[in-house]
């Protein structure tokens, strides 16, 4: 998973996008909450 920024930081236009290779992904829907070792992704 990699991140990509768009817009100017600390402004309303700032965006942080998550990507898996070239595919856009949602950290809310596409990353599991709980890992196999019992730890959580927050």
pLDDT digits (tens, 9 = 90+) for 1-42: 899 999 999 999 999 999 999 999 998 999 999 999 999 998
Query: Between vectors from CA 12 to CA 16 and to CA 24, what angle results, nearest 5°?
Result: 25
Specify the pLDDT at position 32: 92
Distance CA 17, CA 8 (A): 14
Give Cβ neighbours of residue 14 (< 8 Å, ≥ 6 apart): 5, 6, 7, 8
Specify the pLDDT at position 42: 85
What pTM was estimated for this model as a whole? 0.63
CB 6, CB 15: distance < 8 Å:
yes
Domain that holds residue 15: 1-42
Number of folded domains that form the chain: 1
Q: Compute the Cα dihedral for 30, 34, 39, 42 and give only its sign.
A: positive
């Amino acid at each position: 998973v990699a991140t990509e920024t768009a817009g100017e930081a600390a402004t309303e236009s700032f965006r942080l996008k998550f990507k898996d290779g070239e595919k856009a992904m949602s950290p809310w829907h596409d990353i599991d909450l709980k890992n196999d070792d019992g730890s959580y992704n927050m």
